[in-house]
Amino acid sequence: GGLVGTKNVLSVLMQCFAIACMASLLWVCIGYSLAFVGGGSVIGGFGKLFLSGVGIDAVNGTIPETVFVMFQMTFAIITPALIVGGFAERMRFSSMLLFTALWLLLVYVPVTHWVWGGGWLQNLGFMDFAGGSVVHVNAGVAAIVAALVMGRRDGFPTTPMPPHNLPITVAGACMLWVGWFGFNAGSALAADGAAGMAMLVTHIGASAGSLAWMTSEWVKFGKPSVLGIVTGMVAGLGTITPASGFVGPGGALVIGLVAGVACFWATQLIKRRFEIDDSLDVFPVHGVGGFIGLLLTAVFAASFGGQGLPEGATVGRQLL
């Protein structure tokens, strides 16, 4: 809410709140089953519609299935909420609800199945520990497409559109940073060394991304900004996400530094060169960051103290 104009703060907050409620129910009714239950290489099955069979004694791997359902639900909530940043201040509430519901079922759920639910990408050995493709590339691409379809806001790019409340933005960024540990470390699905390493490299990636963005901004504009520092942190978090279960501290440092620089220049290119009105820079931060993270996962999983490539995984397959 702190990044949009004053008159649109409540609108954006209402959209995100409504998305959280709607995505939760869609996930319970049909999303979880299509993403994680049987099926083929493209989509899951209907065996657990309305969470049929998910009781207190059901397990998924080594954890209660109720916990797994709820954990995956948080990804299904946050991903469409990210897309709102691409078309903020331009789409009617009813249209946003319809778009989000369709996108969740037709795009998010199938991609989740491909990567985490036994689909074709997972069978190829594709590495995405906590959502570089499922969440960040997915949301980033959807956001920039939505921004192009909706067109520019009145006054863009000639009229300055500063955030209405940077203190709120910084406070939100701090909560996001801490909350990200839950996504990345939680993706280990255990309280063990893998979860601890995922938390550590997540923090390193965020710190490196923030400082790299700050430095890039300093070089280009002669001074850093509060918004730049927190945006660099988000870029670092998004980029380390797919790698967080595979790389070590050294790899996380490099990935974070690359994220800060690359996402900064991607933002400049999108906003200033192509004049695309991606309101909250969803594509250059999340889309570009997630893509870079996926590519570098295979590189640093096998070097810089990484945990090695999983069986069947290769750098070539990750690039593919």
How many CB atoms are located within 10 Å of the residue 216 CB? Answer: 21
pLDDT digits (tens, 9 = 90+) for 147-184: 999 999 888 888 888 888 899 999 999 999 999 999 99
How many CB atoms are located within 10 Å of the residue 277 CB? Answer: 22
Contact (Cβ atoms closer than 8 angstroms) between residue 135 and residue 239: no
Distance CA 44, CA 273 (A): 41
- Residue 302: the pLDDT is 73
Torsion of CA 278, 283, 286, 288, to 10 degrees: -150
Domains parsed from the chain with CATH numbers: 6-153+165-319 (1.10.3430.10)
- List the chain residues with pLDDT less than 50: none
Paired tokens of 196: 């601890």
Nearest to 80 by CA among 32, 157, 24, 19: 19
Contact (Cβ atoms closer than 8 angstroms) between residue 286 and residue 263: no
Paired tokens of 224: 């850093």
Angle at 185 between CA 280 and CA 103, to 5 degrees: 45
Q: Could you give the count of Cα atoms lying within 13 Å of 61 in the half-sphere of its Cβ?
A: 10
- Residue 163: the pLDDT is 84
CA separation, residue 319 to residues 41, 140, 292, 315 (Å) = 20, 18, 10, 6
**Backbone Cα Rg of the chain:** 19
- Residue 216: the pLDDT is 98
- Residue 320: the pLDDT is 66
Angle at 298 between CA 296 and CA 302, to 5 degrees: 115
What is the value of pTM for the model shown? 0.94
Distance CA 189, CA 66 (A): 13
Distance CA 236, CA 179 (A): 14
Paired tokens of 199: 């938390």
Distance CA 39, CA 52 (A): 16
- Residue 311: the pLDDT is 65
Nearest to 4 by CA among 156, 161, 153, 158: 161
- Residue 5: the pLDDT is 75
